[in-house]
Structure 1
Amino acid sequence: MNIKVWASVIGGLMLASGAQATEFTSIQNDKSSLHFVYKQMGVPVDGSFNKFNAQLAFDPSKPANAKVDFELNLASIDAGSDEANDEVSGKSWFNTKVYPKATFASTAVKQLAANRYEVSGKMTIKGRTQMITAPFTFTPQGNTAKVDGSFVLKRSEFAIGEGMWADFGTVANEIQINFHFLANASK
């Protein structure tokens, strides 16, 4: 084959792959996780949230058009024990009776590298809203894709840990949030 024929074949393949772009629109909650790590008196402590829901519209070929809305049930926290769960659900921490949910609504998504992206948006916890930016990787696997990322949340910006818990020497201000989602392609 000559160069013109190869160029035509490659161009056709590129157009065909662009025409078949896949949009991912939901996550598999049972195969997804949301973990956090913070330091209490200098010692790392792990925890997780077990109930959350996300609505998304993400086509990796058009990241600027992406939209992500995330809702987290704060009472679904697992801080390591029933006593810890009760404490962090209380008024000084998440105050889940008044503020049962945390939400995130994206305002922008941009590509950083081949399968690396960054989502920015408004995080609301306890009635306080702050801008959050989280880098993530997006790894397609047929009709699903792994979405893995992390960001640091400052609890003081959301009044998480008030009163005697406001001392950052006892519980650090920075909380590392790590997420792993298995996203589904639209049908």
Structure 2
Amino acid sequence: MKLRLSVAALVLAPLAAHATVYQQILPEQSRIRFNYQQMGVDMDGAFTSFNGDFYFDTDAPEQSKVELQLALSSVDTGLAEADAELEKSEWFNSAAYPQAIFRAETITSNGPSRYQVQGQLEIKGQQQAVNFDAVLNTDGEHATLVGQLPIKRGDFHIGEGPWANFDVVANEVTIDFSIAVAPAN
């Protein structure tokens, strides 16, 4: 029995140590979606283009560094007319502010594969402190960081002028993310 445990430990130890630091984002396997209400009806959309710098150490999450840049012009609501409207100055103003940027400031463990993330989110020149929970789901060498980030669109001046009132488009927006990552090549 002791010999079997020793052999298993020797075989599994390199696998466990190898997959603890993730440094490569896999955009084609990742998703960033958002949900909101318009006139009381649930609506959603996605952003199809983002990149960033990613260093996530599951053994020392406090040493992790994460910065994501999301192309606001990559918004996809399923309707070309709505996508074009969102790029206008009243909404994202993507001509003047082409990217939303998230920078993690602290990441702490909340238990096995669970993390509390605090950072800064910048959209449309407005920066706000944010915090949220995330779960790291592993699958072999790859992993997926999954969570939700609730924001208020008014904090970022998304929907100005006649759209600043929240009776048509709600102030609350939930960003759902699933960021696929891998160890460095």
**Aligned partner letter, 1:167:** N
The CA deviation at 1:68 is: 0.4
Counterpart among 19, 23, 26 of residue 24 in structure 2: 26
Moved more, 10-19 or 90-99: 10-19
Alpha-carbon shift at residue 134 of structure 1 (Å): 2.1
Q: Distance in 2 between the 1:114 and 1:145 partners?
A: 14
Q: SS at the partner of 2:111? A: coil
Matched residue SS, 2:89: coil
> Structure 1 residue runs of 4+, over 2 Å off?
8-22
Is 1:122 the counterpart of 2:149? The answer is no
Alignment of 1:145-164 (within 5 A): 145-164=143-162
- Report SS of the residue matched to 1:34: strand
Give 1:73's aligned amino acid: A
RMSD: 2.3
The alpha-carbon distance between structure 1 residues 10 and 110, as it changes in their structure 2 partners (threshold 3 A), is farther
Q: Which of 93, 96, 100 lines up with 1:95 in the alignment? A: 93
Query: What is the TM-score normalised by the length of structure 1?
Result: 0.89
Q: 40, 43, 50: which one pairs with 1:42?
A: 40
TM-aligned CA distance change 1:100 to 1:16, over 3 Å = closer
| Counterparts of 1:116 and 1:62, CA distance in 2 | 13
Q: Which residue of 2 aligns with 1:139?
A: 137
Q: Which of 158, 165, 168 in structure 1 is aligned with 2:166? A: 168
Percent identity of paired positions between Structure 1 and Structure 2: 36
Structure 1: gaps of 5 or more residues: none
Q: What letter corresponds to residue 153 of structure 2 in structure 1?
A: R
Partner of 1:82: 80
**Equivalent-residue separation in structure 2 for 1:61 and 1:125 (angstroms):** 31
The size of the alignment, in residue pairs, is: 184
Aligned to 1:186: 184
How far the C-alpha of 1:54 sits from its partner, in A, is: 2.4
Structure 2 CA distance for partners of 1:90 and 1:143, relative to 1, 3 Å: same
Q: Do the aligned residues in 2 keep the contact of 1:26 with 1:54 (CA within 8 Å)?
A: no
